[in-house]
Amino acid sequence: MSTPIDLSTLDAPRIRAAIAAGEFTAREAAQAGLERIEALDGAVHAFNQVTPDLAFAAADRIDALVAGGAGADELPPLAGVPVAFKDNMNLIGTNTTCSSRILENYQSVYDCTAVARMLDAGAVPLGKLNMDEFAFGSSTENSAFGPTHNPWDTDRVPGGSSGGSAAAVSAGMAAITLGSDTGGSIRQPGALCGVVAMKPTYGRVSRYGCVAFASSLDQIGPFSKTVEETALALNAICGKDSMDATSVTRPAEDFTEGLNDGVKGMRIAIVRDMLEMEGVAPEVKASTLAMAEKYAAMGAEVGEVDLPSAQYGLSAYYIIGPAEASSNLARFDGIRYGHRVKDAEDVIDLYMRSRAEGFGPESIRRIMLGTYALSAGYYDAYYGQAQKARTIIIRDFERAFADYDVLLTPTTPTTAFKIGEKSADPLSMYLSDIYTIPVNLAGICGLSIPVGLGADSGLPIGLQLMGTHFAESTILRAARALEADLKFDTTPPVVRNLGA
């Protein structure tokens, strides 16, 4: 074996280049990833399953290409890059548990399209990542298999619901991971763990094979330490899929193109009324304002807008999300798959007790809320009203994007909170997604980029960049300009202490 490979200092392009140049093999890179998981995941608990067999099989395919003479130009774009997937995405050879008891033993019988596309691009799968049960939550504390810990402070949450996906990248256990985002479940943990995290435009990425939460809001997206890796991951996963009727047919785009073109002349606005919302930590607000000044210094035209309807986003979301979820989760009936009670008297008894035993408290809460919102007599007041609120939120964004290319808010009102701090009060947990939810309701794209450590908390702060439908390349370019200027050190203490 050559010198140990430190994946936390290598990004995807460098891993691929090193494999192409014969500096190390894909198998050695996979081994390094697995060793990092072995060393750190006891403290972080990002992984539900680790998949060395799948990893080595994928790595060996890359090494065979190299042995056959494939050079840097011939290897697939993510050749040998260690990756991992949120545990709501199907991958044959793994269980897909959604971190729920009800699916604890569920074996994937087909591959999620986004997962398959990552693997087709040469990526090496190291495992499946912890999450809030069925993606219901903002802290990963709702996992039936125990919480994930934030690599910046293991007493704190990594955010959620894709907490495992964010923590794995932060701790250098994988270069790129995939998560899913229904109301902020990619961007919020990305912000709390100090990594780049993106929710693409609704329809960009096929949802086929990702266990549905709220079908009109869900979207798969990547986590990585650099903007360039996020662009490379989007190149792999975006595109029409005949298995998802809501995936959109678009001309193929290379999201790395123009990434370094800067923001000169770009129109960027702070969303002023959202920044003034109650409950925003002063350090978070100050950092957002400072980033706007940086953009102005880099030559962007910086202004301010208001999104007056966005304040109703949380209410609309906590009607639409649970309503769609209660409908999607009706499939867990103990018959075709999942937990089933042994001694059922009849089929209704079988349904009712299997579901009550299999679902955790937050899943039950959301199913109840959604069922109520859709029930006779309440449908118009809740679901109907929420769908109309969605329209006025979209109109607000349309007005803002008529004048600006990129909108800025904090990703989250505060930095990472303590494990247990909000779990007793569901509503206060829901409020941590106040900035991310409107993006899902409008179906636009949003990205969180780490912009520094809080002056008071000492923990990562995320800035949210929002772009209109299909404007991924614009917000990636703006994010890249800031990344190049800030040079934020994404290495968390849990990794620094490993070397000590």
Q: Is 165 a catalytic residue?
A: no
Residue 60 binds another protein, judged by CB under 8 A:
no
**DSSP 3-state of 445:** strand
Tokens of 367: 């199913």
Residue-level length of the chain: 500
292 C-beta neighbours (distance < 10 Å), count: 20
Which 342-371 positions form the footprint of another protein (CB under 8 A)? 344-353, 355-356, 359, 364-365, 367-369, 371
Stretch that binds another protein, among 255-263, 425-433, 455-463, 478-486 (CB under 8 A): 425-433
Stretch that binds another protein, among 128-136, 188-196, 377-385, 486-494 (CB under 8 A): 377-385
**DSSP 3-state of 329:** helix
Catalytic residue among 138, 185, 354, 448: 185
Q: Is 86 a catalytic residue?
A: yes
Compute the least distance from the CB of residue 369 to another protein, in Å. Answer: 6
Tokens of 288: 């957002």
Which 233-262 positions form the footprint of another protein (CB under 8 A)? 242, 245-246, 248-249
Compute the radius of gyration of the chain from its Cα atoms: 21
Residue 426 binds another protein, judged by CB under 8 A:
yes
Tokens of 449: 């980029």
Q: Which helix (H) or strand (E) holds 290?
A: helix 282-297
Which 468-487 positions form the footprint of another protein (CB under 8 A)? 469
Stretch that binds another protein, among 83-91, 379-387, 452-460, 480-488 (CB under 8 A): 379-387
Which 99-118 positions form the footprint of another protein (CB under 8 A)? 105-107, 109-110
Whole-number Å distance between alpha carbons of 180 and 165: 9
Residue 391 binds another protein, judged by CB under 8 A:
yes
Nearer to another protein, 70 or 394 (CB): 394
Residue ranges with strand state E in 196-260? 196-199, 219-224
Write the binding mask 119 to 158 for another protein: x where contact by CB under 8 A, - elsewhere.
Answer: ----------------------------------------
Whole-number Å distance between alpha carbons of 408 and 97: 35
Residue 315 binds another protein, judged by CB under 8 A:
yes
Residue 213 binds another protein, judged by CB under 8 A:
no
Nearer to another protein, 73 or 346 (CB): 346
Q: Is 185 a catalytic residue?
A: yes
Whole-number Å distance between alpha carbons of 492 and 13: 22
Write the binding mask 284 to 313 for another protein: x where contact by CB under 8 A, - elsewhere.
Answer: ----------------------------x-
Give backbone dihedrals phi and psi of 198, rounded to 5 degrees, phi first. Answer: -130, 135
Residue 199 binds another protein, judged by CB under 8 A:
no
Tokens of 369: 């809320």
What residues does 129 pair with on adjacent strands? 47, 86
Catalytic residue among 86, 128, 199, 422: 86
Nearer to another protein, 394 or 486 (CB): 394
Q: How far is CA 159 from CA 259, 298, 392, 416, in A?
A: 28, 31, 29, 7
Q: Identify the CA nearest to 89 among candidates 130, 40, 139.
A: 130
Active site residues: 86, 161, 185
